[in-house]
Amino acid sequence: MQNESISNSRGITLGTKLVLAMIVLVVASVGTSAFYSLRTLNRLAESQANARQAEGEQALRERAEMMVRNLASSAALSISVSDIDVLHELAEKALTENPSVEWIMIIDQPSNKVLVRKPDGALGTAPKDEVYHKLQSNAKQVTESGSRSDLAFVENEADQTKWTFGGNARLRDGNLVGRVRLGMTTSEVRERIAASVASAHQEASKSARNQLLFAGIILLFGIVLAVLGSRRIAQPLQRLSLQAGYIAGGDFGQRVHVKSRDEIGQLAHSFNSMAESLGLLLHQMAHKASLERELELARDVQQTMSPPPQLLPVGNFSLTGRCEMAEQCGGDWWTYRLLSRDRLLVVVGDVTGHGVPAAMIAATARGAVEALSAVDEAIMSPARLLGAIDLAIRDVSNTNNLLMTCFAVMFDPHKGKMTFANAGHTFPYLLRPNRRSGEGELAVLAVRGNPLGDPRQCITTDERDLQPDDMLILSSDGLTDRVAQNGERFGEKRLRRILMEHHSNGTNTEVVELRDRIVNQVNDFGGQAPLDDDMTLVICHYEDPRTAKRANKIVA
């Protein structure tokens, strides 16, 4: 159903998108190239035409000025003697030799009378226009400077192709005898330039059409190649899409068969590897989830086997303990038993390592304590208890190469004694208040031995007097071995300083306060660094039998 929904929801194929994208890209590229090529060629043609027009007009002007100067020089004598025939010949010759000249006018200076006008036209008084004023100004400058010739040029504002040139005719002595005017047109030059520009535009348009035609042929060829290539790409991708649908539906047995060795083939191989890995991963995750449930169950069982963290009034004693595991299950454990004649048995153990194997050995040891204290209570002693635990765990610990340190203490209020045995465990501290100084006295119960399960079994015992308000502090090595982020250990020195700073107030709550103060300072010292070993702390406070509240006795 999922694969069918994927197939139904498919839109435009990837191959079609590739073809369309290529067409758009090629058309845009070619169109842009043709447009800018055409515009560049047109601009280049116009630029060249403008340059040619400027050069032609400049040459034409220079030639016209030369013609006016020569004509004025040749006509000066004839004007002075009023030889009209010679002036007609000069004007006719100038018109014949210069097609750009439209008309020529020769004017007598004193009378301002037109002597010759070619082509033939009405004669009369010459108009006093802009050329006349420029020539008058030039004549004044010639008089002052003694120059022999002067010219004037005016461009028609209404028609810029019409130019008018004027020149003063002077005799050799510098006397002004007449003026020459010449009308010229640049239309022929501009028409040739315009024709050249139009031809260049046609050539540019033809080039653009050829470019578009060639691009169309390439585009058609590219479309054929794109269709073939897109089919070659799209078909494997469709199979990969189906494979993804199988994976999404939880079917990891399907495989994609792609023979190509390119990126598509590598992707298909990756899909097949991913499907295989996902199937294996799901199996491992299911197995891991099952193990986590079992570990959680084992942790719950281990927690129910350990005494609760609340204050425990037991006979003439107040007990409290706290156990923190490095993993879900651990090898640290402690327990207590209230025996006959108000005797109290407290046992603390630490299995090397942590995890499920350590937790199994810890449970076996605790079971041995429960069984022995219930069956053979009359002859119970810490040394015999540790020996029985050693027998109980030896087979299991040897199989897993694990050992267990253990400390057992028995309090006898009637005899005022505490008897204890140590099998390689951390030394406990005895905190005893000094009634005279008000300060506490700290002693170490230094009794050594080998861990339980060791082939060289060695359990040492000792005893001490028991006094009211005595406080016994038992811990595992995970407490003092807690490491901060900088690698520094918490150490025994810091633990002893906390104990020495404690002041007894004669209440049961001080036991919990001392426990929490120690654990909190250890955790603050470790900071964000995770526990690398299980950590256990047990504090036992002995109350004066005369003031103990019998109503709070708990029979374990």
366-425 pLDDT, tens digit per residue, is 888 888 877 766 678 899 999 988 888 887 766 667 899 999 999 999 899 999 999 999
pTM of the predicted structure, to 2 decimals: 0.52
Whether the per-residue pLDDT at 461 is higher than 90: the answer is yes
Contact 315, 341 (CB under 8 A): no
Q: Which range of residues forms the domain containing residue 486? A: 307-552
Question: Which pLDDT score, from 0 to 100, does residue 204 have?
Answer: 72
Residue 473 lies in a domain: yes
Count how many domains the chain has: 1
User: Could you tell me which residues come within 8 angstroms of residue 372 by beta carbon, excluding any fewer than 6 positions away?
Assistant: 380, 384, 385, 388
Dihedral sign for Cα atoms in the order 449, 450, 451, 455 = negative
Average pLDDT value for residue range 131-159: 64
| Chain-centre distance for alpha carbon 108 | 93
Residue 295 lies in a domain: no
Residue 204 lies in a domain: no
How many C-beta neighbours within 10 Å does residue 11 have?
Answer: 6
Q: Determine which of 131-140, 159-168, 270-279 has the lowest per-residue pLDDT on average.
A: 131-140
Measured CA to CA in angstroms, residue 195 lies from 37, 38, 48, 201 at distances of 21, 18, 13, 10
Residue 217 lies in a domain: no
Task: With CA atoms as reference, report the closest residue to 53 among 191, 239, 199, 190.
Answer: 190
Residue 245 lies in a domain: no
Average pLDDT value for residue range 420-437: 87
Element (H, E) at 178: strand 176-185
CATH number of residue 427's parent domain:
3.60.40.10
Could you read off the pLDDT of 255-280 as tens digits, one per residue? 666 666 666 667 767 767 777 777 77
Rounded CA separation 69/91 (Å):
13
Residue 183 lies in a domain: no
Residue 161 lies in a domain: no
Question: Which pLDDT score, from 0 to 100, does residue 21 have?
Answer: 75
Average pLDDT value for residue range 445-474: 90
Specify the higher pLDDT residue, 456 or 124.
456
Specify the higher pLDDT residue, 541 or 434.
541
Residue 524 lies in a domain: yes
Question: Which pLDDT score, from 0 to 100, does residue 54 have?
Answer: 80
Specify the higher pLDDT residue, 398 or 487.
487
Average pLDDT value for residue range 143-153: 59
